[in-house]
Amino acid sequence: MAKKEKISAYPVERIEMSILLIRGQKVMIDADLASLYGVPTKALNQAVSRNEKRFPSDFMFRLTRMEKNELVTNCDRLQRLKHSSALPRAFTEQGVAMLSSILNSDRAIEVNIEIMRAFLRLRRILSTHKELAKKLSELETNLRDHDEKISLIFDAIHQLMVPPVKSKIKIGFTVKEKQKAYGKGKKEP
């Protein structure tokens, strides 16, 4: 009998919405992580404080007041941070992975697995977008070249469609010119 695949109790959309871009890095805020882990934000931050050596600046950093205010303004779900005196911590993907080593509950392990999968999906999506952007750029360049060539063809066709200018100079002899050629009184051959 086939083993049933376990369906995640943690909505993927909720996890993906919690991944933010701050200082050019994909991060998750301590309040969102605490909510996913089912612990108070204060408890999560206390565990991090007891293990600060595990969280260098490329794993975790504190937001500035300006960053916090911008975050509260842009993310309705983080309105509860508006009146908090503490500045939120932001955890990079590596910082979230490190959290699993200090939060040792079954729920924390399951949530971390789902978060790692969400970061992976995000990386895949971004790489796909980069590939598409590169291909689009190549197409634009090719089209620009084709547009220039087509424009030259249309210019040539327009030039061919212009009726020729009638020459005002008549080709051949005129009566007056014939008389001058043979002189007055001489007969034409």
* Predicted confidence band of residue 149 (pLDDT cuts 50, 70, 90): confident
State both tokens at 181.
């050629």
The pTM assigned to this predicted structure is: 0.57
How does pLDDT run across 70-98, given as a tens digit for each residue?
A: 888 887 777 777 778 889 999 998 898 88
Q: Given this model, what pLDDT does residue 182 score?
A: 56
Q: What is the pLDDT of residue 89?
A: 92
Whether 32 maps to a domain, the answer reads: yes
Percent of the chain exceeding pLDDT 90 equals: 13
pLDDT for 73: 84
**What pLDDT sits at residue 49?**
92
Q: How far apart are CA 29 and CA 85, in angstroms?
A: 15
Average pLDDT over residues 61-67: 91
Asked if residue 40 is part of any domain, the answer here is yes
What's the whole-number average pLDDT of the chain? 77
| Residue 39 placed within a domain | yes
Helices 106-161 and 93-102, packing angle to 10 deg: 170
On whether residue 72 sits in a domain, the answer given is yes
Nearest partner of 125 among 29, 32, 26, judged by Cα: 26
The whole domain housing 83 covers 12-132
Q: In CATH, what number is assigned to the domain containing residue 72?
A: 3.10.260
> What pLDDT score was predicted for residue 115?
82
Total count of domains within the chain: 1
Q: What are the pLDDT digits (tens) for 100-114? A: 778 777 777 788 788
Within 8 A by CB and 6+ apart from 65, the residues are 87
